[in-house]
Structure 1
């Protein structure tokens, strides 16, 4: 369980942000990475399901619910800042059970995807699911509703805006049109009420967090990018160890 006030503090981090100053949320995959990000000064964290899956030895999307919630709990216990959890599409659990398990794990909120098995869900059915989650959670959890249209090949921004409107009306605090191209962010910003989560870039291949903020992003997350970056660094250290071994 988290201390009282953390959800309110996390929600407040999303409000009143100036253009060019989005909330940057690194994605820890274990307790050590979470502590590193907090020590660097980040005020909150957001776990990536794919990064956690890699740390547990699973393919993305293959982590059993029990193991994912246990991993989230280890991360929340390790740090004193709010932690939101990526719990994919909810593992087939009922909204009330998802709420209970997030609270038990110490999370202040979650991502919930609107596709499953690579297929977009019916947006009205997903909105009903999110509304049930909100009714069970009340104000105790921050809900980031992922919009997977761009991820699933639907390039028309209006489809993302339509889904986002349904999810905000259902009680989502933030929407996440994952993989939305940077050039459509101003259109999404104009058509979506409330905070927008945008996928950030680590390699200079796209706008900086500040640049994404100028285009309309409220918050930036990186998916499993940081975990994969760390794995590459570890690979380099392993190669150096092999060389030293041969000296």
Structure 2
């Protein structure tokens, strides 16, 4: 089992090598082990995927941290934890979330500028930057190089202000964030505009981007890290709902033809556990 320091250094190296890499988003130990067995090099948790597992519209910071612990312990891969807004608006909350994520075995984590308040969905610019600064200080105080991702959430909340999004990302970069992230960017031209305005690595989430884009195209555009957020969870649940609908409304079970073979699953789980 690699140490946290070894995982952290490996995670940093992925961001420094040429080209983009995919960091998929499992939501439990089983999906983490399947992704590890397929050959992915790092994992990131998804708060949406976790909420789906809990049958809830959201997850608490405590639940996100515990989910990060479960996934970090499931494989030898580096894990970054989705921390949403860190559990509160105070910069101290963001800092504490980073400390808790590291304590749970994560070597990276993300803090976003979304408030969780529908009436005022995005933190004021100054507060948003102060929260990232506090998270950076917490990350730098750790005994290993924790990779802090700072997220500008404008596009997810109907604020399609590209200039403000870039301004926020540049301020987060100046505050010391290691990776920048703006979910909701869709087309390649917009993605290029954002990436070209930054010096640090940029994470693109494909759950909201043009699904025809490829790793090669995104890499050429300067994207360094590609995630999918809750997309894998939602696709899995879409299949679940189709199966349930067939049983309830058609009285048939043809979906069993598409089951993953038991031995394939067991081999993948065993491989990831070695």
Same fold by TM-score, threshold 0.5 exceeded?
Answer: yes
CA offset digits 1:68-105 (Å, max 9, x no partner): 21111111111110010101101126234212211121
Hey, what does 1:161 align to over in structure 2? 166
1:211 aligns with 2:220: no
Larger radius of gyration: 2
* Cα contact 2:185–2:208 (8 A) shared by 1: no
How many Å apart are 1:237 and its aligned residue? 4.3
How many Å apart are 1:7 and its aligned residue? 1.2
Pairing of 1:69-218 with structure 2 (within 5 A): 69-92=65-88, 94-116=93-115, 117-118=117-118, 119-138=121-140, 140-182=145-187, 183-200=189-206, 205-218=211-224
Q: Name structure 1 gaps, 5 residues minimum.
A: none
* Cα contact 1:29–1:227 (8 A) shared by 2: yes
CA offset digits 1:104-129 (Å, max 9, x no partner): 21111111111112411122222111
Identify, as 1 or 2, the structure richer in helix.
2
Question: Normalising to structure 2: TM-score of the pair?
Answer: 0.80
Question: Normalising to structure 1: TM-score of the pair?
Answer: 0.88
* Cα contact 1:200–1:209 (8 A) shared by 2: no
Q: Name structure 2 gaps, 5 residues minimum.
A: 255-274
Hey, what does 1:64 align to over in structure 2? 60
* Cα contact 2:152–2:182 (8 A) shared by 1: yes
User: C-alpha separation between the residues in 1 aligned to 2:231 and 2:191?
Assistant: 21
User: C-alpha separation between the residues in 2 aligned to 1:227 and 1:146?
Assistant: 21
